[in-house]
Amino acid sequence: MITKEKVINSLKDMPDKFSIDELMDKLMLLQKIETGLEQSNRGEIYSTQEAREMLKQWSK
């Protein structure tokens, strides 16, 4: 979950003028990064070999 502080810091990094689409893209990226970090902290990760095996199965 993203925090208000991280959203505010993201807004500070934005140019003075931007579209709502640019803002939404930035917030969605921030959310995905946070989700990935949380999953990593919980040990929900795959080794390189496991990832390669999954890709082989998906591309059949």
pLDDT of residue 40: 96
Q: For residue 33, how many other CB atoms are within 10 A of its CB?
A: 12
pLDDT given at position 18: 96
CA distance 17 to 3: 23
The rounded distance, in Å, linking the Cα atoms of 44 and 58 is 20
Range of the domain at 8: 4-58
Q: What percent of the chain has pLDDT over 90?
A: 95
Q: In total, how many domains does the chain have?
A: 1
- Residue 1: its pLDDT value, please? 86
Kindly give the parts of the chain with pLDDT less than 50: none
pLDDT at 22: 96
Q: Residue 60 has what pLDDT?
A: 79
